[in-house]
Amino acid sequence: MMETQNLGNSDLAITRIGLGAWAIGGSWQWGWGSQEDQDSIATLHQALDAGINWIDTAPVYGLGHSETVIGQMLKERSNKPYIFTKCSFVWDDQQEINTTLKAASVRQEVEDSLQRLGVDVIDLYQIHWPNPEPEIEEGWETLAQLKQEGKVRYIGLSNFNPAQMDRLAAIAPITSLQPPYSLVKREVETEILPYCEQHNIGVIAYSPMGSGLLSGKMTQERMANLAEDDWRRKDNEFQEPRLSRNLELVEVLRTIGEKHGCGPAAVAIAWVCGNSAVTGAIVGMRRPDQVEGVMQAANLHLDPDDLSRIHDFLEQHP
């Protein structure tokens, strides 16, 4: 059995790891390259059978496609996972993406998501980004109303800072925050994670493996051969000189993993989950063979020696 923990002020007892469904959206402006739906559905089933009990997605992932694939998978299962999705990104017939948090738009988004997913209620509904910022109060008021109406069970945020959360907490309680957090992106440690801990806001961290950088599968050669439409080509952490430094960190994680009988990916995820503010980590999976390596992190607790070795590397290679 995988350990579970209640998410913030909710009664959602979530596993330490959830499945992130960004990549299964396939090719689009911020995609991870092409993806076969049959691979996605097989991966979703395998992850859920292994004990994961929540999936995080968003309408914009593949412009509706990620949610549609999840909806197809849900029809095939009797024991269904929690489904977390989002609002604020909308697109037109030309696939031009814009952001809006106007009440009418948010209401249309939730109806579209319910239809694509084939569910009656969304377990956690999140504002994806605080954009446009002047509209965040209107968006949050609408989410609070959707909760009262029973369209969504709980409401949360993604990529918000403490000042923005203060503004919204005055309107309705915040169940969760979804920030980026990994050994290569630690900015949230300063203010955001302490704020969430202080206010009983659950944290579901995304990109705990640095978007695959700490998976143990990334090399200079693989980076050079990433698909042209893979967004990681534009990310500084995947470019020199950061790439070499990050691959050195992977070797530290690999050594620690050997002691525990797992790979560097599991160590990277376990490190994120080890922060007391973090309720769970969102891990993207695209193929069934990726599930086992990720699952090793579910019950892995790093010891003081492991943490010390990681800390020393980070101090020496800021």
Which amino acids are annotated catalytic?
Answer: 61
Which residues have CB under 8 Å from 227's CB, separation 6+? 32, 33, 34
Q: What is the identity of the amino acid at 32?
A: W
Gap between the terminal Cα atoms of the chain: 37
CA–CA dist 201, 176 (Å, integer): 5
> Six-digit token pair at 242?
């950061």
Which two tokens mark 280? Answer: 């769970």
How far is CA 198 from each of CA 16, 155, 160, 194, 195, rounded to the nearest angstrom? 20, 18, 16, 6, 5
H-only helix segments in the chain: 37-49, 65-74, 103-117, 136-148, 162-169, 192-198, 220-224, 242-260, 264-273, 291-295, 304-316
CB atoms within 10 A of CB 223: 18
* Integer Cα distance of 178 and 213 in angstroms: 20
Helices H / strands E in the chain, number of each = 11, 12
Inter-CA distances, 119 with 20, 67, 115, Å: 18, 11, 7
Which amino acid is located at 233 in the chain? Answer: R
Query: Are 18 and 54 a contacting pair, CB within 8 Å?
Result: yes
Based on the number of CB atoms within 10 Å of its own CB, is 81 exposed (0-12), middle (13-18) or buried (19 or more)? buried
